[in-house]
Structure 1
Amino acid sequence: MVPDLGAPQEQNRALAGELILNGQRYHLVPAEDSAPAPTPASDVRLLTSRELQVVSCVCAGWGNKQIATKLHISTWTVAAHLRRIFVKLGVDTRAAMVSRCLGAVSLPPTP
């Protein structure tokens, strides 16, 4: 529901950062710009060298078993690395991880 601003005086207040809804007056304050969102390159710097190896394998389209075989670790360890990577990058899917890291890691040779 759009508030009835009525008189031009009320319109000017609304434009000046004041809003009246249901008889309550609210002073509008512009949001301050917070720190800029981290770039993919800065996100990737959060990862360990082993996590970067896992990311590069995922970027190549490898599954957990292939990654485990290539890196000589268990599939459980691969899954643990992926969970930590997801948290560090603020993502929840492999595709989002690849998108965030695209161009920041080099791809390993195909198995």
Structure 2
Amino acid sequence: MKTSSRLRNGMGTALLILAALIFLPPLVVDKLDAWHEAPSLLAENSRLIEQCGLGVRVDLSRWFYTYRFSGSNAYAKFRATAISSVCNKSLIVELKKQGNVWQLVEWKDY
């Protein structure tokens, strides 16, 4: 009986941790400074303006992103959608922070 009880408790704990790893990141993504910088950096990118026009709106996905940091350096990768009157593109956006400035590394269609 002790073994099955411990196994059940361990499985419950594992499910709780798994649920936290799945559902917490989308709740905290809007607290990241890269989340706020990415749409404006992408909307000002000349290559995207050529393809989608000036009035492009960029929406980022809360579910599919990567954020790594070490001291004042950071890296962020988001899935995004660029929407305008002439295009609707799905993108992957990569940003890098050096010092206190975010820079657009690259973006590509997916």
If the length of structure 1 is used for normalisation, what is the TM-score?
Answer: 0.27
Q: Structure 1 or 2: larger strand share? A: 2
Specify which structure has the bigger relative contact order, considering alpha-carbon pairs within 8 angstroms and separated by 6 or more residues.
Answer: 1
TM norm structure 2? 0.27
